[in-house]
C-alpha cells in the first residue's frame, strides 16, 4: 500500500479526486474550495488591530485554516516519509532548453539552479522568487481568489468571473513561460 502512495498518480486518478473535493465541501458544509482566503483568516485571527479588512466573523472559516494546516502537514509527511528516491524525470527537449540557461540540476522538486538560498540574492532570483511571490499574492487578491479556487471551484459551479480569471491565468502562464521567463533566466 505504501508503494502505491509513493508513486506519482496518473491524471485520471488525481484529477477526479481533486474534483470530488468540490461536491464534498458543498454537500458536507456548503463551503467553497480555495486557499488564498486562508491568509486573510489567519491575519484576522492573529492581529488584534482594528483594520476593517480583518473585522469579520473569521471563526466561521476555521475549517479553511485546518484545511491549509493539513496541506502543510501532508507536505511535510510526504517529503520526509514518502520521498521517491528515483531521479526526477525531465523531458529531454525541456532539459536541453533549460541547459541553455544554465539550469541542469534536477535533483530536487524545483531546479536548484533557480530556487535556492544562493540564487535568492541574485537579480533573477529576486525577480522570480520575491517579485513572483508578490505578483501571485497581488493577482490572487485582485482576481478575488487563487487559481485553485477559480479553476476548480468556480468553474465547477459555473461562475462567469471564474472562467474569465482562469482564462487570464492561462494566458499569463503562457506569456510567462514562453516570453518573460527566458528573458529573466538570461539575466
> Each residue of 141-170: pLDDT tens digit?
888 888 888 888 888 888 999 999 999 989
Report the C-alpha gap between 114 and 123 in whole angstroms.
11
Q: What percent of the chain has pLDDT over 70?
A: 99
Its pTM stands at 0.71
pLDDT single digits (tens) 95-108: 998 898 888 888 87
- Tally Cβ neighbours within 10 Å of residue 75: 10
The grid coordinates of residue 100 equal 541553455
Q: Are 106 and 88 in contact (CB under 8 A)?
A: yes
Per-residue pLDDT band for 12 (boundaries 50, 70, 90) equals: very high
For helices 11-19 and 21-29, what crossing angle results, to 10°? 20
Can you spell out the DSSP letters for 103-163? ----SSSS-TTTSSHHHHTSHHHIIIIIIHHHHHHHHHHHTTS-HHIIIIIIHHTT-HHHH
| Average pLDDT for 54-66 | 86
**Is pLDDT above 80 for 49?**
no
Q: How far is CA 160 from the centre of its chain?
A: 22
- Distances from the Cα of 47 to the Cα of 1, 56, 59, 138, 177, angstroms: 43, 12, 13, 20, 37
**pLDDT exceeds 90 at position 7:** no
Report whether 21 contacts 152 (CB < 8 A): yes
36 vs 2 pLDDT, higher one: 36
Q: Average pLDDT, whole number, for the chain?
A: 85
Lowest mean pLDDT among 80-84, 117-121, 148-152: 80-84
What's residue 164's pLDDT?
93
Q: What is the pLDDT of residue 175?
A: 94
Amino acid at each position: 500500500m505504501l508503494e502505491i502512495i509513493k508513486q506519482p498518480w496518473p491524471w485520471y486518478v488525481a484529477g477526479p479526486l481533486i474534483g470530488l473535493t468540490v461536491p464534498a465541501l458543498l454537500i458536507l458544509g456548503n463551503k467553497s474550495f480555495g486557499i488564498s482566503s486562508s491568509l486573510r483568516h489567519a491575519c484576522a485571527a492573529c492581529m488584534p488591530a482594528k483594520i476593517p479588512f480583518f473585522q469579520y466573523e473569521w471563526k466561521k472559516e476555521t475549517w479553511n485554516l485546518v484545511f491549509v494546516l493539513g496541506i502543510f502537514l501532508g507536505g511535510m509527511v510526504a517529503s520526509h516519509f514518502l520521498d521517491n528516491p528515483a531521479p526526477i524525470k525531465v523531458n529531454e527537449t525541456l532539459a536541453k532548453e533549460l541547459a541553455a540557461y544554465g539550469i541542469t540540476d534536477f535533483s530536487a522538486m524545483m531546479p536548484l539552479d533557480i530556487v535556492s538560498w544562493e540564487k535568492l540574492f541574485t537579480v533573477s532570483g529576486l525577480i522570480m522568487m520575491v517579485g513572483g511571490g508578490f505578483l501571485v499574492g497581488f493577482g490572487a487578491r485582485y482576481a478575488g481568489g487563487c487559481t485553485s479556487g477559480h479553476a476548480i471551484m468556480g468553474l465547477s459551479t459555473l461562475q462567469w468571473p471564474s472562467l474569465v480569471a482562469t482564462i487570464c491565468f492561462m494566458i499569463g502562464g503562457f506569456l510567462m513561460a514562453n516570453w518573460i521567463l527566458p528573458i529573466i533566466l538570461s539575466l
